[in-house]
Amino acid sequence: MYQYKATVLKIVDGDTLHLEVDLGFDVKRRDSFRLEGINAPEISTAEGIASKEWLTERLTQGVLIITTHKDKREKYGRYLATLWIDKINVNEAMIKAGMAVPYNP
């Protein structure tokens, strides 16, 4: 498992983000990430909009850390990641808040 500080560039929907990841030694990378272990409603629905808004609000409240579990991308080209804000697992918090459901393909 790898852990990095990150900055949000864009929140696509409740389970997909574009981030700038600080790899250390003044090296940064911009990429797309899928939140591991959850599935948020599609952005074209009212529930999807609410999920994205919930996530947007949470990601402005502290230092964002991501952990990744694989070096390779999933089928849509995104890395799988868990988001952490002040030691709170955002992926799990989304499920508890009803903004996403567990997802293990």
- Sign of the alpha-carbon dihedral angle for 88, 46, 12, 103: positive
Hey, which CATH number is domain 2-99, 2.40.50.90, 3.40.50.300, 3.40.50.720, 1.20.1560.10? 2.40.50.90
Residue ranges per structural domain of the chain: 2-99
For residue 76, which phi and psi values (nearest 5 degrees)? -100, 10
SS3 call for 39: strand
Q: What is the pLDDT of residue 104?
A: 85
Over residues 72-100, the pLDDT tens digits come to 788 889 999 999 998 999 999 999 999 99
Over residues 50-72, the pLDDT tens digits come to 999 999 999 988 899 999 977 77
Over residues 9-29, the pLDDT tens digits come to 999 999 999 999 999 999 999
Q: What is the pLDDT of residue 69?
A: 76
Question: Is the whole-model pTM more than 0.95?
Answer: no
